[in-house]
Structure 1
Amino acid sequence: MTGEPVLDIRGLSVDYGLGEDAVHAVRDVDLTLHRGEVLGLAGESGSGKSTLAYGMLRLLPPPGVIRSGQVTYRPRDGEPIDLMSLSRSRLRRFRWAEVSIVFQGAMNSLNPVHMVVTQLTDVIAAHEPRTTAAARKARAVELLNLVGINADRLTSYPHQLSGGMRQRVMIAMALALEPRVVVMDEPTTALDVVMQRQILRQLVELRERIGFSVLFITHDLSLLVEFSDRIAIMYGGRIVESAPAAELYRSSLHPYSDGLLHSFPALRGPRRELTGIPGSPPDLRAMPTGCAFHPRCPKAFDPCAERSPVSEEPAGHGGSDRSVACWLHSAHEPAERVTT
């Protein structure tokens, strides 16, 4: 493991709406991010990835509601911090200073009527009001250099930057206060493949140089296999598998993970058939009984339609750093597989 836990999520559940009509978007999620780690979070659109990120930072827009759970941040020095109990003022000071986020659609998150220097220095001024204007500008220059942008771009407006440069400005803004955790929500979706790899390599270099942890959220599992230390797979609002990236790629256990891995071509090694995943993601307003994946699963058998499996260490993998929520690998369900 990369290091000790820096962010612990336990039993987090998030709804949209209230009462009987509420949509359960995130369901009892446990997740741990370790110090210095790149943790990938993958799944199809609508699986709950972004909702999980915004829920843990209490950034949910209405009608999002945190129904239950605990999110604990563990600084290097001092007592653990429960994000769910922070007051609004303390939470505002906490965000960006300790945990920052690069939002989905980050290329369009910059204010189009302000220069880059204004947007970078505003972040610093909001959290460190005693700093001088000269010190803030010097820090802005340093941040641009950090992400490979020349300082003469400080006076540029967002429309004068390429997509990759705007993305890197957003990363620079997220690193302005040297947070210990950076959450990146689909940061490369609108970029071409070459720019995706360039930005991700730079992110890995920055992580190694500065030492922050990354929660990297994407639907592109091929990116995570290449750049993550560990990967968690979400489906229907739950984590269905978690494992070191190399182990997940070599021997995925959950049929959904296997389907995702066979949905893109391998860049190296022998050719393999692309099979994809039949059917569509579940409707969160009318989830199937039992395992949410069983209507699409080629390996479903009797218990799958009746009971939802718990996430546990898979049978036969004692002492390994992986978990899976699947009856095929449960030590508590000896049923035989149904043939179709």
Structure 2
Amino acid sequence: MSEPVLTISDLHVDYGTGDDAVHALRAIDLTLHRGEVLGLAGESGSGKSTLAYAVTRLLSPPGVITGGDVHYHRRDGEKVDILSLSAPELRAFRWAELSIVFQGAMNSLNPVHTVRSQLTDVLKAHRPEMKRAERTDRAKELLALVGISADRLGAYPHQLSGGMRQRVMIAMALALEPEIVIMDEPTTALDVVMQRQILRQLVKLREQLGFSVVFITHDISLLIEFSDRIAIMYGGRIVEEAGAADIYRDARHPYSDGLLHSFPALHGPRRELAGIPGSPPHLAAMPAGCAFHPRCPRAFDPCASRVPMLTRPAGETAEPRTVACWLHHAAPTGVR
């Protein structure tokens, strides 16, 4: 395993304050390694986007980080505490070392500015020493990276297809060659053909430029294709983390297994889609014990009363993996 580039420790995020606060993230521990693609999967409302916005300090009120640490590790060994950066330091840090591709490209791009204007504005803000011609040349290079002709620099967002707009957003995120790119469901609104094209482009760029990726989606089948590791979120917690191949072959948490069986297999015999019964929990009224137990087909006594910790399964000796499930840990003392 390569050295870490981003470490998240015991991160807690609430919406609101006091007794009415909604606990959106609880005790998140996660490590992104240099050059790695880390997939983050889960149903809507599981906390995936909240985690992305907390790490990038883009949480909108009433969202507030109530505890934990987020550190960025530079190649020279310096460790940067992202949560303690001042406003000027944060402005210099974003896009230069960590960038984000938002979920809706049409909403992220300014409709009254051309592609050229929006790409060169990033360069003008962070590299004021660049001349206008140099910024335009760099914008052409960025479009070429994502497979768009330079003659589209003068186009407005509404003149581009959905896939092209999303690739412009990826180009903008790569403008300053950051070490980390967080992608928040960038292919959700696209058809499956365009999804695959963008993912292939992303894999190629990652190999070419060497950045690390956090890819957020509710579609675990996408992550299995190109992620190195996958973390599964449910109810504001990480419930399983392992290599993509390990998750696919042998998901340990019943929720992970349910996600895997919610999409059709491309090969092998036909099988009926099982899905997951019920609905995700309301974060303002979380069930006691394991948050998944009301929907879990394998729940037993400890699940309704104790929250399982995210630890290595009992007897596990293969690749590092963690799971938060009483099926793979000893039941708590006095509970059977």
Shorter-chain TM-score tier: over 0.9
Q: Residues 1-340 of structure 1 correspond to what in structure 2 (within 5 A)?
A: 1=1, 3-331=2-330, 333=332
Structure 2 residue identity aligned to 1:127: H
For residues 105 and 127 of structure 2, what CA distance do their matches in structure 1 show?
Answer: 24
List runs of 5+ in structure 2 lacking aligned partners.
Answer: none
| 3-state SS of paired residue (2:181) | strand
Asked whether the 8 Å contact 2:114–2:156 carries over to 1, the reply is yes
Query: Which deviates more from structure 2 when the two are superposed, residues 311-320 or residues 252-261?
Result: 311-320
Structure 2 residue identity aligned to 1:13: H
Residue deviations 1:52-102 (CA, integer Å, cap 9, x gap): 010111100010000001001001014100101111110110000000000
- 1:106 Cα deviation from its structure 2 partner: 2.2
List runs of 5+ in structure 1 lacking aligned partners.
Answer: none
Give the direction of change, closer, same or farther, for the CA distance of 1:325–1:178 in structure 2 (3 Å limit).
same
Asked whether the 8 Å contact 2:7–2:31 carries over to 1, the reply is yes
Give the direction of change, closer, same or farther, for the CA distance of 1:78–1:130 in structure 2 (3 Å limit).
farther
| 3-state SS of paired residue (1:155) | coil
Asked whether the 8 Å contact 2:302–2:331 carries over to 1, the reply is no
- 1:334 Cα deviation from its structure 2 partner: 8.5
Residue deviations 1:203-244 (CA, integer Å, cap 9, x gap): 000000100000000001110011111100000000000010
Runs of 4+ in 1 over 6 A off after TM superposition: 334-337
Residue deviations 1:241-268 (CA, integer Å, cap 9, x gap): 0010011000000000000000000112
For residues 334 and 317 of structure 1, what CA distance do their matches in structure 2 show?
Answer: 22
Identity %: 74
CA RMSD of aligned residues (A): 1.3
| 3-state SS of paired residue (1:53) | helix
For residues 30 and 204 of structure 1, what CA distance do their matches in structure 2 show?
Answer: 25
Query: Which deviates more from structure 2 when the two are superposed, residues 228-237 or residues 264-273?
Result: 264-273
Structure 1 residue identity aligned to 2:146: V
Structure 2 residue identity aligned to 1:247: D
Structure 1 residue identity aligned to 2:21: A
Asked whether the 8 Å contact 1:36–1:207 carries over to 2, the reply is yes
For residues 106 and 186 of structure 2, what CA distance do their matches in structure 1 show?
Answer: 8
Residue deviations 1:162-207 (CA, integer Å, cap 9, x gap): 1110000000000000000000001001000000000001000000
Structure 2 residue identity aligned to 1:310: M
Query: Which deviates more from structure 2 when the two are superposed, residues 266-275 or residues 36-45?
Result: 266-275
For residues 335 and 256 of structure 1, what CA distance do their matches in structure 2 show?
Answer: 26
